[in-house]
Every structure is written in structure tokens, then in C-alpha cells.
């Protein structure tokens, strides 16, 4: 639970501030964009002059959200305060870090790997999404829940819970959903636009990735070299949710996806079953995330990174199978 003193401090700071910069992380997912817009639009409705920034372009999937075009990668002017959402460490905002060095004023997040890098940290690691944290906090922070803000927050919640299916989905996630729907957000159209529908090039990318898939020792893994993106005609920055799909494989403990980046690094995404903490692995490589879903970037060739990461993942599973079972 978030300490009341931190909520009070954030409310007072927001009350005193007129020009506010809100930032989310690189390679934004639905929770990053939904939380950025949801908080930004609520602050605007409260009369604030708000700039919303993301270091990477808004993925096409989320271009149905209100005011997504207002998101910039180059914020201009001076700000009274800077807020970071859905981000566990300052390095995850890329060049936008210069906007708040050394620390942002407020951080809203739910990652277990969060380093507490804000001056005020509104961190709830039991929440299924940052949008869920925000949905509960807007009223205590004296911010209005407009219909547009509610639609953005519900998008974040639906995406991070994969449609209420992840292990973190709780009665609090459902209570937040009820509140957001009562404020006018459409669960049907958001689920349809953000989760159900995908582009044909994303489907072809899955085909490319799945053709490389292997399964061994309780691990399923696949690769997306740059050539796969070209072959699929996929222009996006991410994996088109292929890591989540790999995580649906039966009879495995961990799914791993390797995505080659244009800068020569390999992005790794882990997904795991309850009891296997892949955030620990991700953090060992400078990344982060949640126990069942985490990521990191490692410099090196696809073959090198694949070998290193699979060895570490096997090692984690060996340690877990060797550990004494908890007594009942
Ligand atoms: P994904 O594998 O879909 O990129 O991310 C899974 C989870 O891990 C998300 O919560 C995401 O924010 C987090 N994550 C992914 N990559 C990184 C990274 O490089 N650094 C940190 N700190 N978190 C990451
Ligand atoms: Mn999130």
C-alpha cells in the first residue's frame, strides 16, 4: 500500500504546480501510453499546462486513444515539475532523462524492480498496472476522472492484465475497472482495439518468430532478427506481443524471446509461470519488470546473447528444482 504521507505530499506538490511534464518509458506498451495519457488528460482537466512525452513513437495499436498525437519525444520549455509513469528506473526513459536529472518529482509505478528513483514514489507492486494505481489515486490527488482519462487508464489496465488474465489481476483491478467504466470508458471497444485486433504484418512477424521456436528443459524460446521484421513488413519497434504468446505454451516454466534491435543490442523478454521469478534474471542484466514478465537489453550477437541467457535461465530453473519445497 502507498503511504498516505506520500499521497498528501504529491497532492500538495501538484496543487502548487502549473506547468507539468509527464514521461513514460522507451518501447511503450499499453500501460505506459494509457497511464501517460490518463494522468496527462486528468491534469489538463484540472487546469494544468501539461506536456506528455515518450522517447519512442506511439505504437499504431494505441493510436485510437484520445490525444495520442499530443505525445512528443522532444518536450519544449520549462516545467515546474516532472512526473514519470510505469517506469522502474531513470535509464528507461532514454534521452528524456535530461528533463529531470537527477530525479523526477513524482513516480507512479507498479514494477517490483522499481528503484525508488523519484523524490516522491507512488509505487504499488501489488497492482496489476500503473493505470490501476492512477485510477485509485486521481480522487485523493484532487484530479478529475474524465471520460477520456478513464478510456486511457482502462487501456493500460486491460493491456497489462492481458484482459484480466494475469496472476496479478485482483479484486482491486476489477474495482478500478468498474470505476473507469462508470466514468464512461468502453471495456468492449478498448479490449477490441488494444488486445483483440492486430495488423497483418504483426501476424506475419509471429510466423517468422514462431518458425524459430524451440522447446527444451522447460523453456520455450524464439528469435526475431532484423531480417524477420523486414520479411514480415513489420515497422513497429516491439515484438507485436509475441513474447506473451510464447508464454502460453503448455508444459513450460519459462518463455524467452530474443529481438534484434537496430543499435546492435538484443532485447530479451521473459515470461514465466508462478513461482519462477524472471525479474531477478532481467535485473541481473540491467533490466527489470515483474516476477512473471520481465525484459532487458544485452549488447552482443544473437547467438552470443541466446547462449548466455539460456544458460542463466536453465540455471534459475535448476536452482528452483533443487530448493527444498516449502512446508504446508
Ligand atoms: P516486455 O518483455 O514486454 O518488453 O516487458 C515485460 C516487463 O518488463 C514490462 O513491465 C516492462 O516494463 C519490463 N521491462 C522490459 N524491458 C525492460 C528493461 O530493459 N528495463 C526495465 N527496467 N524493465 C523492462
Ligand atoms: Mn505496467
Mutating to test ligand 1, I would choose from 288, 298, 305 the residue with most ligand atoms within 8 A of its C-beta, which is: 288
pLDDT band at 325 (very low <50, low <70, confident <90, very high): low
Determine whether the shortest distance from the Cβ of 110 to ligand 1 is under 6 A: no
pLDDT of 93 reads: 97
pLDDT at 327 over 60: no
Is there an atom of ligand 1 within 6 Å of 272 CB?
no
Of residues 236 and 189, the one with the higher pLDDT is 189
- Averaged confidence pLDDT in the chain: 96
C-alpha torsion sign, points 56, 60, 65, 66: positive
Average pLDDT of the residues in 57-66: 96
pLDDT of residue 301: 97
Atom of ligand 1 nearest to the CA of 294: 8
pLDDT at 81 over 90: yes
Write out pLDDT tens, residues 108-138: 999 999 999 999 999 999 999 999 999 999 9
Q: Residue of the nearest CA to atom 2 in ligand 1? A: 269
Distance 232 CA to ligand 2 centre (A): 27
The answer on pLDDT for 240 being more than 60 is yes
Q: What pTM was computed for the model?
A: 0.95
For ligand 1, whether the C-beta of 160 sits within 6 Å is no
Average pLDDT value for residue range 95-113: 96
Ligand 1 near 296 CB (within 6 A): yes
pLDDT band at 328 (very low <50, low <70, confident <90, very high): low
CA distance readout (Å), 125 to 25, 65, 104, 232, 291: 17, 26, 19, 36, 10
pLDDT number for residue 326? 61
Is the per-residue pLDDT at 206 higher than 80?
yes
Q: What is the 137 CA–ligand 1 centroid distance (Å)?
A: 24
Residues 10-45 pLDDT 10s: 999 999 999 999 999 999 999 999 999 999 999 999
Q: Say how many Å lie between the CA of residue 147 and the centre of ligand 1.
A: 29
Amino acid at each position: 500500500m502507498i503511504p498516505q504521507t506520500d499521497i498528501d505530499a504529491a497532492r500538495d506538490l501538484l496543487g502548487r504546480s502549473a506547468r507539468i511534464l509527464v514521461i513514460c518509458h522507451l518501447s511503450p506498451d499499453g500501460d505506459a501510453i494509457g497511464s501517460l495519457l490518463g494522468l496527462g488528460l486528468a491534469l489538463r482537466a484540472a487546469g494544468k499546462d501539461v506536456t506528455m512525452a515518450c522517447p519512442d513513437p506511439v505504437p499504431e495499436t494505441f493510436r485510437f486513444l484520445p490525444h495520442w498525437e499530443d505525445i512528443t519525444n522532444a518536450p519544449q520549455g520549462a516545467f515546474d515539475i516532472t512526473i514519470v509513469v510505469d517506469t522502474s528506473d531513470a535509464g528507461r526513459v532514454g534521452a528524456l532523462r535530461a528533463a529531470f536529472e537527477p530525479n523526477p518529482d513524482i513516480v507512479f509505478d507498479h514494477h517490483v524492480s522499481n528503484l525508488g528513483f523519484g523524490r516522491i514514489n507512488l509505487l504499488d507492486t501489488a497492482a496489476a498496472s500503473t493505470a490501476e494505481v492512477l485510477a485509485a489515486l486521481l480522487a485523493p490527488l484532487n484530479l478529475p476522472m474524465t471520460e477520456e482519462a478513464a478510456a486511457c487508464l482502462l487501456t493500460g489496465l486491460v493491456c497489462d492484465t492481458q484482459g484480466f488474465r494475469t496472476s496479478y489481476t485482483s479484486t482491486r483491478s476489477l474495482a478500478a475497472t468498474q470505476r473507469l467504466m462508470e466514468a464512461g470508458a468502453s471495456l468492449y471497444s478498448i479490449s477490441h482495439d488494444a488486445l483483440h485486433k492486430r495488423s497483418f504484418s504483426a501476424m506475419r512477424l509471429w510466423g517468422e518468430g514462431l518458425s524459430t521456436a524451440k522447446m527444451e528443459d522447460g523453456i520455450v524460446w524464439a528469435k526475431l532478427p532484423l531480417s524477420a521484421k523486414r520479411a514480415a513488413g513489420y515497422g513497429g519497434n516491439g515484438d507485436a506481443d509475441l513474447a506473451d504468446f510464447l508464454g502460453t505454451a503448455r508444459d513450460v516454466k519459462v518463455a524467452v524471446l530474443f529481438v534484434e534491435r537496430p543499435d546492435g543490442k538484443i532485447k530479451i523478454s521473459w515470461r514465466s509461470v508462478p513461482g519462477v521469478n524472471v525479474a531477478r534474471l532481467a535485473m541481473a542484466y540491467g533490466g527489470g519488470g515483474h516476477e512473471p514478465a520481465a525484459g532487458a537489453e544485452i549488447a552482443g550477437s544473437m547467438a552470443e546473447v541466446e547462449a548466455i541467457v539460456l544458460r542463466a535461465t536453465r540455471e534459475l530453473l535448476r536452482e528452483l528444482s533443487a530448493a527444498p519445497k516449502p512446508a504446508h
